[in-house]
Amino acid sequence: MYEIIEGFLEAARLIVTFDPDVMAIAARSIIISFTATIIATLIAVPLGAAINFGTFPGKKNLVNLIQTLYSLPTVIVGLLIFLLISRVGPFGFLRLLFTPTAMIVAQTVLILPIMTGLTISALSGVDPVIRDTLRSLGATRLQFLVNVLKEARFAILASVAVGFGRAISEVGAAILVGGNIAASSFASSTRVLTTAISLETSMGNISQSIALGIVLLIIALGVNLAITTVQHR
Amino acid sequence: MIEFDNVSKNFGDTRVLTGVTGEVNRGEIFTVIGPSGAGKSTLLRLIDLLDVPAGGAIRINGLDIHADKEKSLSVRRMMGMVFQKPAVFNTTVTENVAVGLRFRGVSKSETRKLTEDALAMVGLAGYGERRARTLSGGEMQRVALARAMVIEPEILLLDEPTANLDPVSVAMIEDLVVRINRDLGTTVIFSTHDMYQGQRLAHRIGVLMDGAFAQVGTPREVFTLPASREVARFVGIENIVEGVVVEREDGTAVVDAGGVRVRARSPFPRGERVSLCIRSEEIRIAPAIRGRRVSDGNILPGTVTAVVPRGPFSRVTVDCGFPLSSVLSWKAAEDLDIREGGRVEVVFAAESVHAVRQG
Amino acid sequence: MHVLRYICLITMYRRTIFAVAAVMVALLLICGCTGTTTDPTPVEKQQLRIATTTSLYDTKLLDHLTPIFEEKYNAEVLIVSAGTGKAIEYGQRGDVDVLMVHDRAREDAFLADGYGINRRVFAYNYFVLVGPESDPAGVAGMQPEAAFTAIRETGVAGGSDVVFVSRGDASGTHSKEKAIWKAAGFNYSTDVQGSGDWYQEAGTGMGATLEMANEKEAYTLSDIGTYLAYKGDLDLVTLVDEGDILLNVYCAMQINPAKYPDINTTVAKDWVNFMISDDVQKEIDSFGVDQYGQPLFYAAQDDWEKIGVTEAEVKDPIA
């Protein structure tokens, strides 16, 4: 109990004083996960839209498959990406292993299914009357798609939040492909909140772990708060 | 202007439209009435190219609108549609109304002006910056009407637009539709399951039953001269009596209905089996006085079987060999001393009896 | 210092739904867009990737040496800390430029297979058997082999609190532990692994294993460096620290450029030579003395005979 209280006090100090190490790790986490989320959004939204608006055989099975992939274990994704980008792997020539880029790739792959699935749900959730109204107003195919997406924007935004939350809180893939490196330059380091918590705990630095954990929590809550605020306008 | 040529449509095994044939004239308000499930929405959706017919054709100005996919967009852009369920885009009222203009690439300043005008027309001036989702159902439906009208369509399709609204909003929408038709000359097709609404608004009515028009005509024709027993029932004629024409002279006929003779207007020859449609409002009930004669009319003796209060009136059913109902004010019923089991005479003119051939 | 400010910004930014996206992008740009690129250093700064055994990392020895190297060679050192087994795996796959490990037998195999070249020994220390002060198996002061035997006997007999936590992760320490079991006359996989609840495999780094042994009041084998570095947080005490078999020798080696031609050979060479340079050898000898009252590692330079390696391996810089 004493350890936990002491940990929290120290954590508060690290956060309030903007401890450079903690803040750098937090900033890196945000950058990596936001980038992954943005890339995943750029893929998931058009993909989800294509699946939702398209009619093709096996559509239902595809949607089921995507939903199954929601629970893709992070270490499996990590292992897969590791094997692909390791020097002897097919993309080894890119030299991506142990870089932030590798982590972005892994997180993108990790959150792609859930973001695609939620985009599909978001679009399916648009009232059929809204769709009819758009068509009756003389929308071209493209205008129709854009406006249905617009109508689903808040639900899609929620899927972005879910994706970001999953990306920033996962540890398995981050440690496998990132290597938890603390280099002297910000950009070469791959230590993020989750991997740092894992390391600091194993090294017995409980207060550091708690501080990082609180920062992670604040970021996750902050993003969700921002999105709920926007949604309830 | 709009021509239906044996239009049919089915969803899976369900045949919704079995062969709609008819015509809507330029500049008129044409209401499609009929019971729920008769295919009213489907017909309007086919006109707006939201669905494709299984058979037959819909022609606008002679053009088969479903024949050429290339022309779909330009055809659809001639029309505006308002749906039964009030649905607005999740944005401001102004943005909602502007959507159709944006699709057509109308300039910003023009859009602004047209949008303001359209909102003023539906009585929502000053609502522009509100979020459309926060409006009441009636207001949303007026936004929908403004949104459909701002693009100045030649044809306005309204699919039961007042079905979910309160009476005040219904009146407002009806008034708007009449004004739009009168002031802008827009051809209006308005579907409703409310026959009185159909009657109030329409220049002409199409009665859609079981997937086809059972009758197309002016409100007067439809309500007084229903084409079939089913139409008669739908337009609220309570007294429908089966019989056979036994005599004919000068457009009136004598019909034998189970032994009771009824004079009726009828073009049908002797021996024809007919249904006689008599509106309750056309039937008088009088105390039984022997020896009264009304030329060219009907006086049938009978026994009161039921007196049921209906609003400020009483609905009185008399057995004259077949049941006939009439509506009397409470006072009249009291003055005439009408009570169940009492003997009365049922009086109505031959002109009040509309005979239709039994289908 | 940025994070909270941006979170505030996010919550305040209500104008459009794109606010969040805007903040994401802003953050990306401000905090360093270089974070996402593969070649983040426009200046001619070379990157050196090292896979190291956890003991060199957890003791912070490398954290201490890295800045000196980076300054001197204008390079950036990226360290992936893993067990020796995993480090060797990274080396074999060509994912790093330099290995720093402590498992002589596997190093030899690695070199023989042609994956590694230019091994240099830069430090050594001793493994220690640590355990709870109560010492339920009564092994204090024994020879390592005898101590292991006693722990196993007590553990297998059951009914006592004897637990041995093994790294269980194919690390150098794990190799050493297996070697001791073998020297004590046991077959590791049949006599030790799976012989009862007394023997538990942690499957994690040295620091975490010590934490675990501490929680379970168990015995474990640790390198002295990591143990000393963690000692402040632990109730475990040193029970056995003498015996030739406990010798722990650290080496650094390059990954063979013949296997992976675009490996970073120059800086890798610099690093290995740096580790056996006089200055660094002195640093190694003194590292941790201030904090722990004794060195965590000994410099290999002058003790090559004692630790059984050739003089060339401790002194000759790579050409």
Distance from CA of B197 to the nearest CA of A (A): 23
pLDDT of residue B291: 61
Residue C35, in any domain of the structure? no
Residue C2 has pLDDT above 60, yes or no: no
pLDDT digits (tens, 9 = 90+) for A178-212: 999 988 889 889 999 999 998 888 877 888 888 89
User: Tokens 């073998």 belong to which residue?
Assistant: C182
Q: Which of C200, C220, C246 is the last residue of a domain?
A: C246
Return the pLDDT at C319. 83
Beta carbons of A187 and C66 less than 8 Å apart: no
pLDDT confidence of residue B269: 86
CATH code (residue C224): 3.40.190.10
Of A129, A138, A153, the CB nearest to B100: A138
Question: Tell me: the pLDDT tens digits for C212-226?
Answer: 999 999 999 999 989
pLDDT, tens digit, for every residue of B124-168? Answer: 999 999 999 999 999 999 999 999 999 999 999 999 999 989 999
Give the pLDDT band (50/70/90) at residue C310: very high
The reported pLDDT for the residue numbered C45 is 81
CA–CA min distance A211, chain B (Å): 41
Return the higher-pLDDT residue of A128 and B331: A128
Out of B81, B89, B104, name the one closest to residue A136 (CB).
Answer: B81
Looking at the complex, report in whole angstroms how far the Cα of residue A55 sits from the nearest Cα belonging to chain B: 16
Find tokens 């079995």 and name the residue.
Answer: B18
Is C277 inside any structural domain? Answer: yes
- pLDDT for B332 beyond 90: no
C58 pLDDT band, cuts 50/70/90, is: confident
Instruction: Answer yes or no: do C229 and C282 share one domain.
Output: no
Chain C nearest-CA distance from A159, in A, is 13
Query: pLDDT class for C160, splitting at 50, 70, 90?
Result: confident
When CB atoms are compared, the residue of B48, B50, B103 closest to A143 is: B103
* ipTM value: 0.84
What is the overall mean pLDDT for chain C? 85
Q: CB contact, 8 Å: A31 with chain C?
A: yes
Evaluate if residue C30 carries a pLDDT over 60.
no
Is the pLDDT confidence value at A65 over 90?
yes
Do C170 and C241 belong together in one domain? yes
Which residues on chain A are in Cβ contact (under 8 Å) with C7? 218-219, 222
Selected residue of A202, A208, A219, A233 to mutate for chain C interface (largest C Cβ count, 10 A)? A202
Q: What is the mean pLDDT of chain B?
A: 91
Chain A residues with CB-CB distance to B100 below 8 A: 137-138
Residue window 76-115, chain C: list those with CB within 8 Å of chain A. 76-81, 93-96
Task: Report whether pLDDT(C35) > 90.
Answer: no
Inform me whether the C-beta atom of residue A223 falls under 8 Å from chain C C-beta atoms. yes
Long-range contacts from B217-222, C-beta under 8 angstroms, 24+ separation: none
Mark yes or no for CB contact A147/B89 under 8 Å.
yes
Concatenated DSSP letters for B72-110?
Answer: HHHHHTTEEEE-SS----SSBHHHHHHHHHHHTT--HHH
In this complex, is the C-beta atom of C13 within 8 Å of any C-beta atom belonging to chain A? yes
Percent residues over pLDDT 90 in chain A = 72
- Which one has a higher pLDDT value, A14 or B159? B159
pLDDT averaged over chain A? 91
pLDDT at residue B286, as a whole number: 85
| pLDDT score recorded for residue B294 | 58
Task: Determine the pLDDT at residue C44.
Answer: 67
pLDDT of A43 reads 96
Yes or no, beta carbons of A203 and C14 under 8 Å apart: no
- A26 in contact with C, Cβ within 8 Å: yes
Per-residue confidence (pLDDT) for residue A205, from 0 to 100: 81
**Are C117 and C132 within one domain?**
no
Do C85 and C134 lie in one domain? The reply is: no
The residue of chain A nearest to residue B70, with distances taken between CA atoms, is A140
**Is residue C2 in some structural domain?**
no
* β pairing state of B323-329 and B313-319: antiparallel
SS3 per-residue string spanning chain A: CHHHHHHHHHHHHHHHCCCHHHHHHHHHHHHHHHHHHHHHHHHHHHHHHHHHHCCCCCHHHHHHHHHHHHHCCHHHHHHHHHHHHCCCCCCHHHCCCCCHHHHHHHHHHHHHHHHHHHHHHHHHCCCHHHHHHHHHCCCCHHHHHHHHHHHCHHHHHHHHHHHHHHHHHCCHHHHHHHCCCCCCCCCCCCCCHHHHHHHHHHCCCHHHHHHHHHHHHHHHHHHHHHHHHHHCC
Q: Is residue C4 situated within a structural domain?
A: no
**Which residue out of B83, B156, B164 would a mutagenesis test of the A interface target, given it has the greatest number of A Cβ atoms within 10 Å?**
B83
Which of these ranges, A36-50, A93-107, B54-68, B239-253, has the smallest mean pLDDT? B239-253
- Whether residue C141 sits in one domain with residue C208: yes
Helix (H, G, I), strand (E, B) or coil at B230: helix
Residue C10 has a pLDDT of: 38
CATH topology for B2-232 is Rossmann fold (3.40.50)
3-state SS assignment for residue B69 = helix
> Is C240 or B249 the better-scoring residue by pLDDT?
C240
Inter-residue contact C297 to C225 (CB < 8 Å): yes
Residue B38's pLDDT band (cuts 50, 70, 90): confident
Beta carbons of B122 and B179 less than 8 angstroms apart:
no
Domain co-membership, C53 together with C107:
yes
C40 and chain A: CB distance < 8 Å anywhere?
yes
* Token duo for residue C16: 């459009």
Considering CB atoms only, which of A30, A97, A225 is closest to C11?
A225
- CATH class (in words) of the domain with range B237-357: mainly beta
CB count in 10 Å sphere of residue B32? 30
- Measured between CA atoms, the residue of chain B closest to residue A154 is B90
Number of inter-chain CB pairs under 8 A, A vs B: 56
Domain count, chain A: 1
Q: What is the pLDDT of residue C14?
A: 39
CATH code (residue A25): 1.10.3720.10
Residue C196 within a domain: yes
Residue in B48, B85, B103 nearest the CB of A129: B85
Mind listing the pLDDT tens digit for each residue in B71-125?
Answer: 889 999 999 999 999 999 999 999 999 999 999 999 999 999 999 999 999 999 9
Residues of A near B (CB-CB distance < 8 A)?
127, 129-130, 132-140, 143, 147, 150-151, 153-154
Rg of chain B's alpha carbons, rounded to an integer?
25
Domain enclosing residue A68, as ranges: 2-231
Pick the residue from chain A with its C-alpha nearest to B101: A137
Residues of chain B with CATH 3.40.50.300: 2-232
Is residue B260 within 8 A of residue B324, CB to CB? The reply is: no
Check whether residue C138 and residue C76 sit in a common domain. Answer: no
Task: Taking residues C136-159, report their average pLDDT.
Answer: 92
Residue C187 lies inside a defined structural domain of this protein:
yes
Question: Does A137 contact B87 at a Cβ distance shorter than 8 Å?
Answer: no
Asked if chain C contacts chain B via 3 or more Cβ pairs within 8 Å, the reply is: no
Of C221, C246, C271, the residue at which a domain comes to its end is C246
Residues C221 and C267 in one domain: no
Query: What is the C-alpha to C-alpha distance for residues C62 and C59, in angstroms, rounded to an integer?
Result: 8
Contact B103 A154 (CB under 8 A): no
Reported as a single tens digit per residue, the pLDDT across B183-211 is 999 999 999 988 889 889 999 999 999 89
**Beta-carbon separation of A137 and B89 below 8 A:** no
List where CATH 2.40.50.100 sits in chain B: 237-357
Which residue(s) pair with B317 in the sheet?
A: B306, B325
In this prediction, residue A104 has a pLDDT band, given cuts at 50, 70 and 90, of: very high
pLDDT band at C103 (very low <50, low <70, confident <90, very high): very high
Point out the domain boundary residue: C246, C273, C304. C246
CB interface of A with C, residues 62-91, below 8 Å: 86-88
Residue C18 pLDDT: 42
Cα nearest neighbour of A185 on chain C: C76
State mean pLDDT over C48-77: 93
Structural tokens at position C175 = 């190799």
Best mutation site among A39, A99, A227 for testing chain C: the one with the most C CBs within 10 Å? A99
Q: Residue C204 is nearest to which of A32, A35, A202, comparing CB atoms?
A: A202
Q: Which residues of B touch A129 (CB under 8 A)?
A: 83, 85, 87
Is residue C144 domain-shared with residue C242, that is, in the same domain? yes
Q: How many folded domains does chain C comprise?
A: 2
State which residues form the domain around C265.
Answer: 46-123+249-315
pLDDT at C8: 38
CB contact under 8 A, C32 and A186: yes
Average the pLDDT over each of A31-40, B142-151, B326-335 and give the range with the smallest value.
B326-335
Structure token digits, residue C305: 């005979």
Question: 């032994």: which residue's tokens?
Answer: B259
Chains that touch B (3 or more CB pairs under 8 A): A
Instruction: Please name the member of C11, C35, C66 whose beta carbon is closest to the beta carbon of A187.
Output: C35
Q: How far is A58 from chain C (nearest CA, A)?
A: 34
Chain C residues whose beta carbon lies within 8 Å of the beta carbon of residue A100: 35-36
CB-based contact B90 A132, cutoff 8 Å: no
List the 198-237 stretch of C: residues with Cβ below 8 A of A: 204-205, 207-208, 211, 230, 233
Beta-strand relationship, C98-101 and C46-52: parallel
